Amino acid sequence: MPRPEVLLGGMTPREYYASELRRLREAVVPRMSQEKLGALVFVSGGYIGQLETAVRVPQLDLSKRIDEALSTGGVLERLHALLDFSRFPDYFKHAKEYESQALTISEFAALIVPGVLQTPEYAHAIFLGAEPTRTDEELAQLVAARLERAHAVTGSTGPELWYILDEAVLRRVVGTRSISAAQLRHLADLMIRRRVIIQVVTYEAGAHALLEGLLCLMTFADAPPLAYSEGPHAGQLLDDSRLVARCHRSYDLVRAAALSPEASLALILSAAEEHENAQARPAVRPVA
């Protein structure tokens, strides 16, 4: 029995849907452009192009609208059911590519500073902690790639950035207290330069809607929004409109429970100072 994610010619359901969409569009007489089809179904021509190259997966209601526009008799709606077999397998590699295309990025982090906000030393400690057997060369390559990604996202031409951090992110010692303090001062610098908005959810806020981990929301100029969640060894990109809407609601609930950006900046600087003071304090030897 063949694997359910493989179809004709080795194509995945996503790739097969994409090829059928293009075939059906080009079969219209006279040939319909991506821009014309997009206008008929209320999306951009560029988004139709992303569907036809399997970069994005459409929502069911969009498949129905395209069927109607192309008079397919419901072909794409029926093919849409196949997408459930392989909706997320290769999304992880695409998630980071979307960052540079996004208009806005809103992210919640429960345990560590998000990757694009990390200093080189902090990132090195994170990678080493995740895999202690990595060589120095491997660690250097990982850190360099992360810094390149950070430059693209946090630069002056990058998307609007809004982060919510759990207080645990500030308190956790990553590498050394000196590294953690420098990381927090880097966050403060980004805030002071108005490159990013950061809010902190304190311990006193108690239980909230995103206690379980990382969530990233992205919006785009010519495509529907995406949500990205991540665990220890996997990432999942969500583009189902109902799931994305639920993710946005959870994010908004946490944002409402968080400190203001001004109060968050003060807490970040205070936590950095605490790390620095603890690093400077001499170790206390037990009394014999």
The mean per-residue pLDDT over the stretch 193-197 comes to 95
The verdict on 122 and 225 lying in the same domain is yes
Q: Is the confidence at residue 6, as pLDDT, over 60?
A: no
Each residue of 51-93: pLDDT tens digit? 998 878 788 899 999 999 999 999 999 988 777 544 433 444 5
**Residue 287 resides in a domain:** no
The mean per-residue pLDDT over the stretch 21-31 comes to 91
The verdict on 177 and 154 lying in the same domain is yes
Task: Report the pLDDT value the prediction gives residue 288, as an integer from 0 to 100.
Answer: 58
**Tokens representing residue 73 in the block:** 């008799």
- What range defines the domain where residue 26 resides? 8-85
The mean per-residue pLDDT over the stretch 262-283 comes to 92
Q: Is the confidence at residue 189, as pLDDT, over 70?
A: yes
Kindly report the CATH number assigned to the domain that includes residue 20: 1.10.260.40
Closest CA to 173 of 125, 127, 107: 125
Domains in the chain: how many in total?
2
Q: Is the confidence at residue 94, as pLDDT, over 80?
A: no
